[in-house]
């Protein structure tokens, strides 16, 4: 299915079930800005907690902070954002649509990669067991010609980005015959640089006003607090500082639902280490972070590392963790070994020493940093697109029905338990209410007595509620009820008193957190 159709489907589902709403909708919305609804906010909180606990609970040497969105403007000069936080943009003269030149080229390359994958897939089916992928890649003419094309574009693209050569980027677009997806033409403008930072002003009078930026990443708030935390927490290297918070980028491409937003949340952790050990820590964090993803149970093969061959001047290693979205592998997290660049820059610009006194060596130095940086909203999109299922259900009479079910990991699901009285009389609603009053301290419960039980199940499936319980007349007599499991749709009779145990185990964060602990 095309990327746009998938986004359409997910967007509609998220809106219908209280996950994500377009911002300012009654005023026709605001491009690339979204609001989270009653279920979305719960899922987001749970993802945030999963990340936070995996950092701060599981590591004695990682602590959290919450720094302000506004920071001294010199910080963004020191970090390089004022001068170099740019995207190359290009317009199509016929459709008047604006694109990121780098993304047009990357998507074109992903398209060629997809063609290679399809050739390999076809051949694998044809040859069966005997298929040798490596040999096929090295000998099949069609695959070789795609690969040659891909390597050619990739080399030119890397060089152009490194050299900041905007003319060459345009030339690659022309030579690769990339067309505008809207107009279908190749009538492209020049490529221009565009700074992604939003700015505003502080100060009440025009004369006294100062230009100030909305932070485009949370990391700088960590760097400038490095010594505050180190000293007040008496932290010894290696140690980490974690932060979750809003970031703002004036993104040019804004047609991708919550994949690319202008206001979004990041979950970042900067790990400060002794110079010379950073590449070992980089490997450590690569493994730790991929375990975090895999513990969700969406399939190990749906994640891959994309190591950067072209490194920013301050990095000595970098990789992205990519998830296989329904529209292809895309970055969800970046892991970067940033050397001592950031602290050194802040030392230079602020005139304050940003050094760590190493009691073992008896000397001071600027530590190196390995950072892990993940978008909370992009992770949200990953979880909902991985959980969204349309299932055909065969009925006994041979006909079939359809259900949309969000197979969210139970510990992340916004609602853990839907409590449903079979009928709205005979004291059943009161029993349901009593159960909720009892369980609400541990689980997010939802009361639902509208429509038939079947329709209520469908509604909860669409929300992703892992457990539904039905109170019927028998409940009044023997304190048992029916529990129905979302994924298997199996129903069983259990005692009311068993509920905390049955639900508690599956919705606890402990299981996934234990899985990602260091072996
Ligand atoms: P991209 O290449 O997709 O623009 P990036 O490499 O600029 O991303 P980083 O600056 O490394 O991204 O940010 C770390 C993470 O923050 C990304 O992996 C992504 O999950 C998230 N992120 C970045 N920009 C956005 C955005 N505009 N909307 C939502 N999430 C974002």
What share of the chain has pLDDT > 90, as a percent? 84
Residue 378 in contact with ligand 1 by CB distance below 6 A? yes
pLDDT reported for residue 161 = 85
pLDDT of res. 205: 61
* Six token digits for residue 175: 């030579």
Both 179 and 207 in one domain: the answer is no
pLDDT score of 229: 97
State the CATH number of the domain containing residue 433.
Answer: 3.40.50.800
| Closest-lying ligand 1 atom to the alpha carbon of residue 330 | 3
Pair 224, 317 in one domain: yes
Q: Which of 196, 261, 334 has most ligand 1 atoms within 8 Å of its beta carbon, as the pocket-test mutant?
A: 334
**Is residue 401 domain-resident?**
no
Q: What is the pLDDT of residues 275-302, one digit of tens each?
A: 999 999 999 999 999 999 999 999 999 9
In a domain, 374, yes or no: yes
Q: Which residues of 229-238 are buried (b: 16+ CB within 10 A; e: fewer)?
A: bbeeeebebb
**CB of residue 319 inside a 6 A radius of ligand 1:** no
For the segment 299-331, what is each residue's pLDDT rounded down to a tens digit? Answer: 999 999 999 877 888 899 999 999 999 888 999
Task: Indicate whether 303 and 368 sit together in one domain.
Answer: yes
**How many Å lie between the centroid of ligand 1 and the Cα of residue 302?**
19
- 466 pocket-lining for ligand 1 (C-beta < 6 Å): no
**Atom from ligand 1 closest to the CA of residue 266:** 16
Q: Is 370 in the same domain as 435?
A: no
Q: How far is the CA of 463 from the centre of ligand 1 (A)?
A: 27
373 lines ligand 1 (CB under 6 A): yes
- Determine the average pLDDT of the residues in 165-170: 94
Most ligand 1 atoms within 8 A of CB, residue of 312, 373, 379 to mutate:
373
Q: Which of 32, 219, 260 to mutate to test the pocket of ligand 1 (most atoms within 8 A of CB)?
A: 260
Are 369 and 460 in the same domain?
no
Final residue in a domain of this structure, among 191, 221, 242: 191
**Ligand 1 and 264: CB distance under 6 A:** yes
- Which residue has a Cα nearest atom 2 of ligand 1? 331
Looking at residue 461, its pLDDT comes to 97
User: Which of 88-102, 248-262, 361-375 shows the lowest mean pLDDT across its residues?
Assistant: 248-262
Report the b/e string of 175-214 with b at 16+ CB within 10 A. ebebbbbeeeeeebeebeeebebeeeeeeeeeeeeeebbb
Q: Whose CA is nearest to atom 30 of ligand 1?
A: 375
Question: Is the distance from the beta carbon of residue 377 to the nearest atom of ligand 1 less than 6 Å?
Answer: yes
DSSP track, 201-267: EESSSTTT-EEEEB-S-SHHHHHTTHHHHHHHTT--SSEEEEEEEEEE---S---SGGGS-SEEEEE
Residue 352 domain-assigned (yes or no): yes
Q: Is the pLDDT of residue 450 over 80?
A: yes
Give yes or no: residues 167 and 147 share one domain: yes
Regarding whether 464 and 385 lie in a shared domain, the answer is no
Determine whether the shortest distance from the Cβ of 266 to ligand 1 is under 6 A: yes
Residue-averaged pLDDT of the chain: 93
**pLDDT number for residue 84:** 86
Number of domains in the chain: 3
Query: Quick one: 207 and 299 in the same domain?
Result: yes
Q: Which carries the bigger pLDDT value, residue 1 or residue 482? A: 482
Q: How many CB atoms lie within 10 A of CB 278?
A: 23
Report pTM. 0.89
Q: Is residue 10 part of a domain?
A: no
pLDDT in tens, 147-162: 999 999 999 998 898 8
CATH of the domain at 179: 3.30.40.230
pLDDT in tens, 171-194: 999 999 999 989 999 999 999 999
CA of 216 to the centre of ligand 1 (A): 10
Is 260 a pocket residue for ligand 1 (Cβ < 6 Å)?
Answer: yes
Residues 205 and 327 in one domain: yes
Query: Where does a domain end: 133, 166, 191?
Result: 191
Locate 256 and state its tokens. 């991708």
The predicted structure's pLDDT at residue 396: 82
226 and 351 fall within a common domain: yes
Place of tokens 């992009």: 378
pLDDT of residue 129: 86
Q: Percent of the chain, pLDDT > 70?
A: 97
Give the closest residue to 518 by CA, choosing from 54, 63, 62. Answer: 54
Question: Is 26 a member of any domain?
Answer: no
Nearest alpha carbon to residue 496 among 517, 477, 519, 518: 477
Q: What's the CA gap between 430 and 435, in Å, rounded?
A: 9
Cα-to-centroid distance, 10 and ligand 1 (Å): 20
Assess if residue 43 is contained within a domain.
no
Distance 187 CA to ligand 1 centre (A): 29
Cα 166 to Cα 101: distance, rounded to the nearest angstrom: 9
Distance in Å, CA 286 to ligand 1 centroid: 17
pLDDT at 3: 67
Same domain assignment for residues 339 and 483:
no
What is the pLDDT confidence band of residue 65, given thresholds at 50, 70 and 90?
very high
pLDDT value of residue 326: 85
Mean pLDDT confidence for 230-252: 96
Contact 460, 448 (CB under 8 A): yes
* 119 within domain boundaries: yes
| CATH number for the domain that contains residue 313 | 3.30.930.10
- Domain around 453: 410-518
Tens of pLDDT, residue by residue over 195-225, are 999 999 987 666 666 889 999 999 999 999 9
Measure the CA–CA gap between 514 and 519, rounded to whole angstroms.
10
User: Is 485 within the bounds of a domain?
Assistant: yes
Quote the pLDDT of residue 328: 86
Q: Nearest residue CA, atom 18 of ligand 1? A: 333
- Average pLDDT for residues 500-516, to the nearest whole number? 92
- Quote the ligand 1 centre to 19 CA distance (angstroms): 21
3-state helix, strand, coil in the chain (%, to 5): 45, 25, 30
Backbone conformation region of residue 203, classed left if phi is above 0, alpha if psi is from -120 to 50, else beta = left
Residues 98 and 75 in one domain: no
pLDDT digits (tens, 9 = 90+) for 403-430: 999 999 999 999 999 999 999 999 999 9
3-state secondary structure of 417: strand
Last residue of a domain, one of 355, 390, 425: 390
Compute, in angstroms, the gap from residue 375 CA to the centroid of ligand 1: 6
Which of 306, 309, 369, 312 minimizes the C-alpha distance to 338?
369
Q: For tokens 């070994």, name the residue.
A: 337
What pLDDT, on a 0 to 100 scale, did the predictor assign at position 55? Answer: 97
């Amino acid at each position: 299915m095309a990327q746009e159709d998938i986004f359409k489907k997910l967007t509609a589902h998220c809106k219908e079930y209280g996950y994500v709403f377009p911002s300012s909708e009654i005023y026709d919305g605001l491009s690339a800005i979204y609001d989270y609804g009653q279920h979305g906010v719960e899922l987001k909180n749970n993802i945030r907690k999963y990340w936070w606990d995996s950092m701060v609970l599981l590591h004695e040497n990682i602590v959290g902070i919450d720094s302000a969105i506004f920071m001294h403007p010199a910080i963004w000069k020191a970090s390089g954002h004022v001068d170099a936080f740019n995207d190359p943009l290009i317009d199509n003269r016929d459709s008047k649509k604006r694109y990121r030149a780098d993304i047009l080229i990357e998507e074109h390359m992903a398209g060629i990669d997809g063609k290679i994958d399809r050739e390999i897939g076809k051949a694998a089916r044809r040859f069966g067991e005997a298929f040798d992928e490596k040999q096929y890649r090295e000998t099949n003419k069609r695959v070789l010609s795609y690969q040659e094309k891909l390597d050619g574009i990739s080399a030119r693209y890397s060089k152009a980005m490194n050299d900041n050569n905007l003319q060459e980027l345009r030339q690659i677009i022309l030579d690769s015959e990339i067309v505008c997806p809207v107009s279908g033409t190749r009538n492209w403008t020049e490529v221009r640089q565009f700074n992604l930072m939003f700015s505003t002003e502080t100060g009440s009078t025009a004369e006294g006003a100062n230009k100030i930026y909305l932070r485009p990443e949370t990391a700088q708030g960590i760097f400038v607090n490095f010594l505050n935390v180190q000293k007040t927490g008496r932290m010894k290297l290696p140690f980490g500082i974690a932060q979750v918070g809003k970031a703002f980028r004036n993104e040019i491409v804004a047609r991708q639902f919550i994949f690319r937003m202008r206001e979004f949340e990041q979950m970042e952790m900067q790990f400060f280490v002794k110079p010379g050990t950073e590449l070992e820590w980089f490997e450590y964090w690569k493994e730790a972070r991929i375990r975090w993803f895999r513990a969700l149970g969406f399939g190990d093969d749906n994640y891959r590392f994309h190591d950067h061959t072209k490194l920013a001047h301050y990095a000595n290693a970098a990789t992205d963790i990519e998830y296989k979205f329904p529209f292809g592998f895309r970055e969800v997290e970046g892991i970067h070994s940033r050397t001592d660049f950031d602290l050194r820059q802040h030392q230079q610009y602020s005139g304050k020493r940003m050094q760590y006194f190493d009691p073992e060596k008896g000397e001071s130095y600027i530590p190196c940093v390995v950072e892990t940086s993940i978008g909370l909203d992009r992770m949200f999109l990953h979880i909902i697109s991985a959980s969204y299922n349309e299932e055909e259900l065969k009925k006994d009479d041979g006909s079939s029905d359809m259900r949309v079910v969000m197979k969210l990991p139970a510990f992340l699901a916004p609602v853990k338990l839907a409590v449903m009285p079979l009928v709205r009389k005979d004291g059943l609603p009161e029993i349901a209410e009593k159960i909720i009053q009892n369980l609400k301290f541990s689980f997010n419960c939802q009361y639902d007595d509208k429509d038939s039980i079947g329709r209520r199940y469908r509604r909860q499936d669409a929300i992703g509620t892992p457990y539904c319980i039905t109170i019927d007349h028998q409940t009044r007599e023997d304190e048992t009820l029916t529990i129905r499991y979302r994924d298997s749709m199996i129903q069983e009779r259990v005692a009311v008193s068993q509920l905390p145990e049955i639900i508690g185990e599956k919705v606890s964060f402990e299981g996934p957190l234990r899985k990602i602990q260091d072996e």
